Amino acid sequence: MLILALETSTEHGSCALWREGGVSERICPPGQSHSETLLPLVRELLAEAGLKIAQLDAIAFGVGPGAFTGLRVACGVAQGLAVAANLPLIPVTSLETMAAQTGAERVLALLDARMGEVYSGFYQRCDAGYVLHGEIRVSAPDAVALPGEADWVACGNAIAAYPALAERLSAAGRACQADIFPTAATVARLAAPRAARGEGIDAALAAPLYIRDKVAKTVAERLSEGGRA
C-alpha cells in the first residue's frame, strides 16, 4: 500500500509517504507559504522513494477544520494529483489527526480557530482510528464543552493560545497535551486502513471542511470579542 498524505490546516504544513507500514515525512519550511513549498516537497519525497504519482494507491489530505488558505492548498494539490493519476482521495479531519497522536482512549481535540474561537471535538479510539462523538464545533474558549469524566485527555494548540481555556481544563482536572498539531504522518497512518477498505472518494467530491461560513473578521470585531488583532 502506497499513500501520499498532505496536511496544511495550520502553519505547520507537511507531506508524508506511507509505504507498507513505514512513513517518511517532509516539513514545510516555516515562514513560507504552503502554496509555494508543499508541491516541491511532494516531488522530493516521491523522488527519494523512487516513485511516481501513478504508482500510488491513494492520496490522503487534511480536510480541516483549520486555516482557510491552508485547507485550500492541501485540498487543491490533492485534487490535482489525484485527477492526473486517477487516484481516490481520503479526507482526514485535523481534530482526529490530533486525537490520534495522544494515544489516549478518549480525547477532546482543541484547535485554535483564530478570531478568538476554538474548534473542538470529542473522539474515542476505535479499530479504525478515532470516532467523533457528536459534531465538530467552533465556539469561544469559555463556551467549549468539557468532558465530565476524568479520563478524557485534552490536546491541541488552543490550550496554549487561550489561557482561560487552559485554566478551565486544569480546574476540571483534565490532562492536557498542548504541543500537538496535525501532521501528514498521522494523516497517512489513519488513511492507510481506510484505503485498504476502499473508502476513498472521487477527487471531484473533495472539499475543505470549514465549519463556519465567516472566515474573516475585522480587527475591531476580534478585539471587541476578546480575540487578538
pLDDT beyond 60 at 221: no
Q: What is the pLDDT of residue 213?
A: 55
Q: What is the pLDDT of residue 222?
A: 40
Q: Could you give the C-alpha distances from 144 to 72, 116, 139, 162, in angstroms and in order?
A: 26, 12, 6, 11
Which region, left, alpha or beta, applies to residue 134 given φ > 0 means left and ψ of -120 to 50 means alpha? left
**82-86, 157-161, 188-192, 225-229: lowest mean pLDDT where?**
225-229
179 burial level (CB within 10 Å; 0-12, 13-18, 19+): exposed
**pLDDT per position as a tens digit, 30-51:** 999 999 999 999 999 999 999 9
Query: Using 50, 70 and 90 to split pLDDT, how confident is the model at 171?
Result: very high
pLDDT beyond 90 at 189: yes
CB 200 within 8 A of CB 90: yes
Query: Using 50, 70 and 90 to split pLDDT, how confident is the model at 215?
Result: very low
Mean pLDDT of the chain, nearest integer: 92
Q: What is the pTM of this model?
A: 0.91
Picking from 20, 18, 15, 14, the residue whose alpha carbon sits closest to that of residue 3 is 18
Q: What is the pLDDT of residue 216?
A: 41
Report how far residue 117's alpha carbon sits from residue 18's, in angstroms, rounded to the nearest whole number: 33
**pLDDT per position as a tens digit, 122-152:** 999 998 789 999 999 999 999 999 998 989 9
Q: What is the pLDDT of residue 228?
A: 42
Would you say the C-alpha torsion 65, 59, 194, 130 has a positive or negative sign? Answer: negative
User: All domains of the chain, ordered by start, with CATH?
Assistant: 2-93+182-216 (3.30.420.40), 94-177 (3.30.420.40)
207 burial level (CB within 10 Å; 0-12, 13-18, 19+): middle
pLDDT beyond 60 at 220: no
What's phi and psi for 202, nearest 5 deg?
Answer: -65, 140
Strands 129-139 and 117-126: antiparallel
Longest CA–CA span in the chain (Å) reads 53
Q: Could you give the C-alpha distances from 15 to 28, 72, 84, 131, 183, in angstroms and in order?
A: 8, 15, 18, 23, 8
Q: What is the pLDDT of residue 212?
A: 75
Picking from 71, 3, 23, the residue whose alpha carbon sits closest to that of residue 211 is 71
Q: What is the pLDDT of residue 122?
A: 98
